[in-house]
Each structure stands twice: as C-alpha cells, then as structure tokens.
A and B are shown apart, each in its own frame.
Chain A
C-alpha cells in the first residue's frame, strides 16, 4: 500500500472511530444517568481512591480552595499537637500562651 493510501486509511479509521464514539456518547445522554455513567466509567480506567475518600475532607481533596481557611483540613492533621495557642481563644488576637509552653 502506498504511503498516501495508508495515511488516508488511518485517517478514515480515526475519524470513523471519533464519529462512532461521539454517537455512543450522544445516545448515552438520552438514557438514565446511571446507565450512561456505567457505560462511560467502564472505559475511564481506575478510579483514584485517595486516603481521604472516607472522610469529610475528601470534598476538598485536590482542589484545596479551602485549605488555609480552616475548613478543609481536619483538626487532627497539620497542626496536631503543635498549636501553641490551642484552647486559648485564638492566637491571632490575644497572643495567649499555654502555661509553661515557652519556658
């Protein structure tokens, strides 16, 4: 097969696949969300199953737009045992000190 013919055949294969896949996606959109998702997810690969999936902070995993604002990370993480002002009503305002902490 000549190179031009081969290239044309491969391009045709790609475009027919593209059209077929688009038609399947369009058809799936007309079905129930559960049916449509099942078919699509079978081809999606492995689902990323992070450590945080079972905890509320999973909702922030990866996007982290709330990190640093106190809403995303659970209190047992990051500052655990290290909060010099913990329980003193907010270190940012009154500078309170744990008794003997800085002795």
Chain B
C-alpha cells in the first residue's frame, strides 16, 4: 500500500512506527521492520526520493533524530542514574525502555514517567547495582514531578479550627514521598554536585568524560525516607523519620487524621511524650511548608 491509497491516520501510524523503530548499533535505520518487511519498501510507500536522497535516507533522518532527541532528553532527566550504571548500560536501558514506552505525550517531560517502575522489573539491565539504580531513578523522577506539580492553597487557620480525628487532609500535589532501600538522595546530590563542578571547570559538559560507572565508596544499603517538594520555584528534598513518612503517606491515601497518626506510630519505639513532641513539631513544619491542604473533593465543593 502506498501513501496515496492510505488514509491520513494510516500514514501517520506507519510513519510513527518507522520513526520510533530502534536504530542499528551504528545508529543507522534498520533494513527491516519488526514484522520483517523491508524498510526501503516502507520508506518508498511514505516518502518520495529526491535528487540527493533516496526514500530510505530521507526517512532515516527522522528515525535518527527521534532517537537522538529522546535519548538525550532521558539522559538529561536521569543523569545520576547514567553515572551509577555507566554510559553504555544507560544507553541499553534507555533504548529498551523507550522501545516499550515510546514518547506518547506532547511534552518530553513525561518521557521517564515509567522508567523507575520499568527498571524495577528488569533487574538484568542494571547489574549488581540494580536496587540502588531503581532508587536513584525514583529520586530523579520525583524531582521532575516536584518541579512542576500543581500547588493548592494550604490549610487556613479557619479550616484547621474545624478539624478533628475523623478529618481527611490532602498533600500538595508537588510533594512526592519516597521510601528508599538506599540513601539514594545523598548519592544523587553528590553526583549532581560533581557534574556541576565538572561542567563549571570545563566550561562545558563533555559527554565522553564519564563513561564507566561512577565509584561510590561507602554506599551501604540502609532505608531512607525522603520528601521531594517545591518552595519558591526550587526543588528540595527533605529526610523524614519513618513515622513521619508513614503518617504523611496515610494522609495522602485519604485516611482520617487520627488513623494516619495511629498508623504512623504503630511500630514506633518512641514513648508517649516523644511521640507528642514529634507530632507537634512535624505538623508545624508541614504547615509552614504549606504541605497540607484540603482534599480535592472539598476544593471542588468550595468552587461550586
């Protein structure tokens, strides 16, 4: 079938399939499609040749530019992951991931949304650093979400005055909670700071400098609870105690306030006085940072 006998939708789908097909190892367009058809024949059905380029060569330009663009975008958002697994493994991860989860959005911001989950399900892709790599991918993706997540009005004193143990609260959409197996937030901070120094010293970041996996002396598996959030247009991450993390997570899941507190301290070793002191300090801190807001249903009701 040629483009002349296809509907616009058929042409678009055929073009997208061709453009999103992975490149060869030397970054050329493959000679055959996934279904075994000749790419030269597919190209001829979609694009006419000109005096300088064949149909295959013209289609190949789009195929290559798609991959260069999405691979570059993913490497930018997951630079610490790239450093931890090494450039070669990261490229293999990127190609495999993007083949399963190609760009589906008008914005490349969403390109890595499924990468942490995907990497968790593909341990062979990251080798012996797999669990650490998954945690790092989660931290880096949380920063993307914290950067441009929505921000609602925090709870007002009038709203707080009406709260009791059965009240349900919501968290700011830009606040992301992470339970990690490794202190990946520290690793990401260290790697990003190193990259920034390197870029500053060299004047420009070189893609060739860090090909091998980064050395990570002293990294040990120990749980960490982290909140990634935004203040004044900048992203921050804050370490949380486990009890603090569980209480916040329960609130985000819509549990009543009293139940969230009970769940947060269910396995805690803190005594009653320590627990009360922590709760007072944490809730004050969350309020100062504007983390707590009314549930969306309530916001909708107010808007009616």
Chain A positions within 8 Å of B238 at CB level: 44-46
Known contacts A44-B289, A62-B109: A17-B279 contact under CB 8 Å: yes
- CB-based contact B231/A13 at 8 Å: no
Q: By the criterion of a CB under 8 Å from any partner CB, how many residues of chain B are at the interface?
A: 80
- Bitwise, B154-179 to A at CB < 8 A (1) or not (0) is 11110011011100000000000000
Given contacts A17-B281, A95-B52, contact A48 B235 (CB under 8 A): yes
Nearest residue (CB) in B for A82 is B68
Q: Bound state CA distance, A95 and B58, in angstroms?
A: 6
In the bound complex, what is the Cα–Cα distance between A59 and B79 (angstroms)? Answer: 17
B265: chain A residues at CB < 8 Å are 10
A80 and B204 alpha carbons, distance in the complex (Å): 13
- Say whether B91 faces chain A, with CB atoms less than 8 Å apart: no
Q: Which residues in B have their C-beta under 8 angstroms from that of A91?
A: 61, 65
Complex interface: stretch among B38-46, B92-100, B142-150, B212-220 = B142-150
Measured in the bound complex, the distance between the Cα atoms of B217 and A40 in whole Å is 33
CA distance A37 to B232 in the complex (A): 8
Contacts of B275 in A (CB 8 A): 10, 13
Question: Which residues in window 45-84 of B have CB below 8 A to A?
Answer: 50, 52-53, 57-58, 60-61, 64-65, 68-69, 71-73, 76-77, 79
Work out how many contacts link A and B, with CB atoms closer than 8 A. Answer: 214
Query: Can you give 30 A-B contacts (C-beta < 8 A)?
Result: A7-B261, A7-B262, A11-B261, A13-B277, A14-B279, A14-B283, A16-B280, A19-B287, A22-B156, A22-B157, A22-B287, A39-B288, A45-B238, A46-B185, A46-B236, A48-B234, A50-B79, A51-B199, A54-B196, A61-B147, A62-B146, A62-B147, A63-B109, A64-B77, A64-B111, A68-B69, A73-B72, A73-B73, A78-B71, A78-B73
Q: Which residues of B are at the interface with A, using a C-beta cutoff of 8 A?
A: 27, 50, 52-53, 57-58, 60-61, 64-65, 68-69, 71-73, 76-77, 79, 107-109, 111, 143-144, 146-148, 154-157, 160-161, 163-165, 185, 189, 192-193, 195-196, 199-200, 204-205, 207, 227-229, 231-232, 234-239, 257-258, 261-262, 265, 272, 275-277, 279-290, 292
